[in-house]
Each structure stands twice: as structure tokens, then as C-alpha cells.
Structure 1
């Protein structure tokens, strides 16, 4: 600090407060201007089974409607470190602190907004001149990742980058020269340029730390007044260069997102990650469509995936045993043994040498003829709601937004409901296994609510709909498959009620 016995007074508290308000207001303005510059977006086309039954033109239309915009992930950073200026007065060590928000535009480029405060000091040898500067600034920076064109890993452990941009500053400088009274360079807004570079180290999916060095140079006459003294020539009295501020800092950064399913900022990811992810999804689907035991039933629905070679199986892939004697049909020498009769190791009844199919039919028909069946009840006239199918609505990962094609589907569903005003219908939300159980409960509820709101907007009375949710507990297939991210619509069962929202 400046020496009190040499006439240096402290900065007025009210002045500091007003200064901070101005800089914060300006920083917010710059931050809002940065928002529309770009989004961390990817366009992914999902092909569904029905695409293969449509014309090429219709397939392209469905793919166009299934574009997915990834919600951007923001980085919030806190920094602190050493600051000094190079100008007309020798520098003394100073302290600077700051915060920033960073948003990826793609895998290489991102945009960042900074707010920065520093106490900059200097003193010539012999104490002939000294100054103290309270610096406030807000900057909008472009950031370029320098080491992201590598393909071996999904994520980067190190992020090396360069940055540059412009901003506005506000500072006041207290100056003392020899034994003259202290003078003050009053605060005023001015422009400056910033450039630098840094390196960050990935600690986890949500957290990283790093080191950065920035250089700040003011524009115009105030750029040479950081230390309170202008650099002039003897003849022209013209300024020859500006004071340069150097800021070396350690920063701690946090990735902020709205969903557990969202990825990291793209400057941490392999540019081919999306391709690898799609290939893995295709591999999982193809694996489920294999028939590893060759019984004619794909592994996805095969309840006996290792059926013996040559075995007769049912529609679920289970080895058949027609007479339930414990000997599978493909090994049973007497596939229709009489019930309750002892058999040998080959499935042949010990009391009868052979039972022909014709004899079995005769016995069965004789026994059926002895049964007195009751008279059938009068025929029931089925209503149009006694046997129907209502389609499901599917969602992208982490999304509660209806796809364009679903609006037409729900219009038809609404017509069915309006034709049956005395019936109640269940709208039941589900998710895949990505994310925590608590987050999936909320996500399944919001998906069901989106469908309910759409049906109500189409004229269906709200009291006709029962909203229910299952979270991740009713997945149909393994893996992060779209069929698990669904909302089912069905006729309500007797006594079924609406569920309250999850906690």
C-alpha cells in the first residue's frame, strides 16, 4: 500500500461501490451479446424401422424431422493470480481475481466472457514515483483449442488453447511523484485488447483446473495512464506506447448443464465421438438380431439362447416337450406318451410299446365327447373401445420435446378419445437407464405431461386423462435404446388413478 505519511489517501468506499456497479452492468451486457453468437450444436439423424418401408423421399422427410439439437454445456471458471504492469514506473507484485463463462461453438472454437478486478502497484527505485491502480474490466474473447485434432481417445486429458478479444475497462489511479501532493486519475470507461493462452487439465466430467497468462493493452490515451504517467517524446509530446498489464493466474472451472445426459463441452471431446457412439449403437442392435444358437429365433426375444443343435423350439426359442415327460421332442422316440405312464430313457412308455398319433386323437375325442359343456352365454356386442391399439410416443435422449411427426399421431389419438367421452385413458412416461433414478423419475413425468398438455390442447378434457410415470423401471430392451424413452397411451383399468409428481 501507499505510505500515509507521504499524503496518499485511501480510495473512497462509495466510489468503489459505484465503480463495481458500472462494470457488472457492462459485463452482463457483453454476456447477453455473446449468447446468440453460436451454440454447441450437432445434427444427428436417427433412422427408425419404418424408414425401411417408406419411399426414399419419405425417409428423407422423417430424417429431417428427427434432427437433434444438443443443449449447450457452459463452463464457469474462477481465477486468481499475480498481476503487474509494464510502463513508466517499475512494477510491484499485485493481485488479480476474475470469473468467466465459456461456451463451445464446435470442437475447436469457443467464446468466453470475462470479468476481472486487479490491484496494480508500482514504485521507482529511490521512491521517486509510485502509483496504485484499481482496475475493473469486462471482455469478450474468442478461444481456439490447439490440441483437439487427435483421434485416439474419447476425451482429452489436457486442453491447450489460445485466446484473444476486446473489452471495456474502468480504473482509477493514485499517483505520487517526489514530494508533490498525491494526484488522482479519475475513473472513465475505455476500450482495451486482450490476448493470451493457457492449459487446463481434466479432473473429471464436471471439473478441470489450469494455468493461464493474459496480456491487456488499453486503446487511446488512457491506455498509457495505468501507472499514472504518460510516455512522451521531447519534441512532439506524443504518446509512444501504452502500459501493458500482465496477468498470470490459476483457474478452477466447472461444467454446468441441465441434464445428466448432456455431454461435456466439445473442446474436451474427440471430434469423432458422435461417429463412434452411433457405431456402438448399431453394433448393439445387430448383436440383438443375431441368432447365436441357430434355432430361428433372434437373441433379442430368445428365452433359451443356447438351445441344443437340432432341437424343436417354440416361438420364444424354448426347446419343445410336447408330452411333458421331461424328454425334449428332438430326442423323444415317443413324442406323444400317455400322461402318467412311466417312460424309459428314450421317452418311450413302458406299459405300451407304441402309441400312434391316430390312437391319441381317438382317445382325446372320446374323452371330449363325455364332457357336458355348459351353454355359451349370449354374444357380447363389442364397443369400439373394447379392442384397440393406441400408438406410443418416442423421445430423444434427455428430451421432453415432441417430434413433428408426433403431432399428427396425437391428433388421431385425440379423435378416438373424444369419440369415447365416458372412458378414461392412462398417459404413462418412461426413460432409459441413462442418468440417476431421481432424474429419470422427473424426466418420465415431464414426458407424460408434455403428451397430456398436447392432448388437452386438441380438445380432450383433462379429467379424462390419468398421468402416470415409471422412470427407468419399465425398460423393454437393454441399452440406451429409443424404445425405452417412450410414453404409452392406453385405456385405464378399473380403479386406476393419477400419480402425483415425483419429488
Structure 2
């Protein structure tokens, strides 16, 4: 018997589990009330009879205050383990009489005796959750076994116990617990002697509110850290504890625009202009555009976005800010490449009109009629009209360059003729420059009598040799 007392006392340090816990919420506390079925079980002859009239409450003793406290810890595999302390006052004791009783012989008959005995119990129990097997979250039946120690009046006794329980969970952390425990007392004598009784074998029923806790939830979002993909930021259950600030269905840590409602296909960003380019990558969020221009439009398809295109409706090169190069003379050669932008000419001549053979012949015909004063490089009066005509022809070809050559007959010496021919050539050049021909388009050189085109022996030949020739510089 002594060994049984030691065993029962050892269980006091273990614990009782009258409510469901799990690995997520490993700790539980139950506060409630208990009812004692006053020892009827101890006088039944057969074990099954000890549970007869289970729901008859006439023999129950209930203390009208919180009278049960349980603390338990989940161990794993649907098993929990804890400690229960209870207090009550036993008002009724069912017993059988013998010759030693205070009231004499009762011939083995059972009777109800009044009592006023304080009851204290400390029990340790292992509990197995059947709800864990069923996979239900709110309905949790269970079985439990254990042992403990009971004090009744001046008597005390160790016990072994077992029973059934049911917890109805209202939420993740709060539930209603109901249980019944059969406590077989190891020193039950079933007698009453001058209000001094041995502790009878009895049933104890409890009802209480269970609070389970212990799961870590750093961000207090109701999702335990072990299941929370964002344990330090409060979030939503449907996103495994991660937040979705803009409520667009894309969690913040995957949302490229976490504060603006967007579309999943754009990683949570909106596409305001509907061009298929998310606003965070769209340089023109209010105008539909093209991916290659970061969402900006190019109306004339010239490769210059409208925002940078000075001529958005007319195609033009980027170098000219999206505008077409001007072609003032409409010769097909743009002005910036046209050396004669105001005079039409072929591209082969850089947009300038081409000097043809007949034009050179015309200039040389004019050159033959240029008359100088004898021995001088000054012009005779009627020559100015000829020079003006020459300038008019040259002005038709703004980019053409001409060489002006002065020639004399062989009258006189080279010492005289060479500088004279050179001065006369430059006199023609200077006059043409004064009429608007660019200086860099004209060269002048005198050759004296070195390049005759006729016989100097005749007056007519010498007249032909005294000439001003125009040649095209190519």
C-alpha cells in the first residue's frame, strides 16, 4: 500500500490534460467547477454497477465557485500531460452499514449519510485526443488515465483514475471542456465513524473554460510564426500571414507597387493607359505606347517618341528632332546636304545644277569679247555688259568653281605680257566677285603669250590669241 501512495504522489508532478492542445498551442489552462458523486461507486459489488444511474444528480456535491484549475502541456502524437487541482465540500456519502458504524447494523443495506467534509484533490493524467484522429478542429472527444491523491476531512488516499472528456472549441484558443473521471481510491474502507471516513472511490465531473496558448506570433496577426511567411509583418491568413496593403491579391513582398492597386500579371502594378506596360515601367502612363519606347507613343513611326518629336504627325529623323529635313528647292536633296538649297540640282552634284558644255562655251564666248584698254588691265566701257552676263551665268551654278585665264598675243616681251595677262585675269575675277560670285569659287592666272590658239603672224590670229578663257574646275 505504501508503494501505491508513493506512485500516486509522483503523479502529482506530472499533470492532467482535460482539453485539447497541439503543437501550435502546446499549453492549456482550464478553469471551472466540479461535482462529486458521493461515493456510490465504492459500495457497488460489481464494477459495471459502479456507473449505474450516471446521470442521477441527487448524490452530487457542488461548490458554487471556481473549484478546478488545470495546467497541461502537449507532448505529441495527440497526447497531452498535465496537473489538475480541485476543491469541493462533500455533503453526501453513499455507504453500506456494518456493526462498527455509528448507527448500528443496516443488514448490508446501502444508505445516504449526511456529511460536511472538505475535499481536496491533486491528479496527474495523460490524455489522448480522439479529435486529433478524426481531424476535427472544433469537436474533440478524448480519454484519459492517471493517478493522484485525495484529501477528505481527516482522511487521505492515493488513487488511480481514468475517464472520458469532450472539448468544444469556439475558436483557435478558447473552448468548453466537459469530463468525467472514475477515481479508484487505494485505501477505500467505505465506512463512516463519527464523521471520520476513509476516502471512498467516487466519480468526479468537471466543466470549465479552456484557454490554450504558447504558439509564437511575433506580428500578432493570428498566424503562428511557424506558418507565417512574413512573421514580423502583420498579414492575412489567405496569404500565409503576409500583408497585401493595396488589396490587389498580390502580397507586398511580391508586389512591385505595394501601395497602389494593380494586376497580378503586372506584379501588382496598374496599367493606367492599357497598353500592356505596367505603370512602374511606363514613361507615359496616361498615353498608350510601345514597349521599345518604355510605353510612350510614336504616332508617325519615325523612331522618335511624341514627347520628344517636334513633328509628331510627320516622320522625320531623330537628328532633326523627329521632323523631316527641309528641301527648299524640292530637288530631292535635303537642305542640310544640298550645297545649293535654293536652286534645284541632281543629287550627283550635291543638289546643285550641273554646268554643261554649252554653259562653258557661253562663258568663253563672253570672254572673247572682253576688251581692255591698250596695255592696261582696265575695261573698255562696253565690256561691263559682257561681264554682267558672265556673272549671271555663273550665279546659276552656286557651287561650281571656275578658273579665269588671261592670254595675250606675242606682241611685246614676256616680261610685259605675263604680268599684264595675270592682271587682266584678276580684274575679271574681281569684277565677278563684286557681282556676287563667291571668291572661293574663282581663281585667276595669266599665261601671257604661251598658249596661243591662232597664228600670231596675222592680225586676225593675234586678235584671237588676246582672250579671257573660263574653265570649269572639277
TMscore range, shorter length: 0.3 to 0.5
Which is greater in Rg? 2
TM-score by length of 1: 0.37
Relative CO higher for 1 or 2, CA cutoff 8 Å, sep ≥ 6? Answer: 1
Return the TM-score normalized by structure 2: 0.39
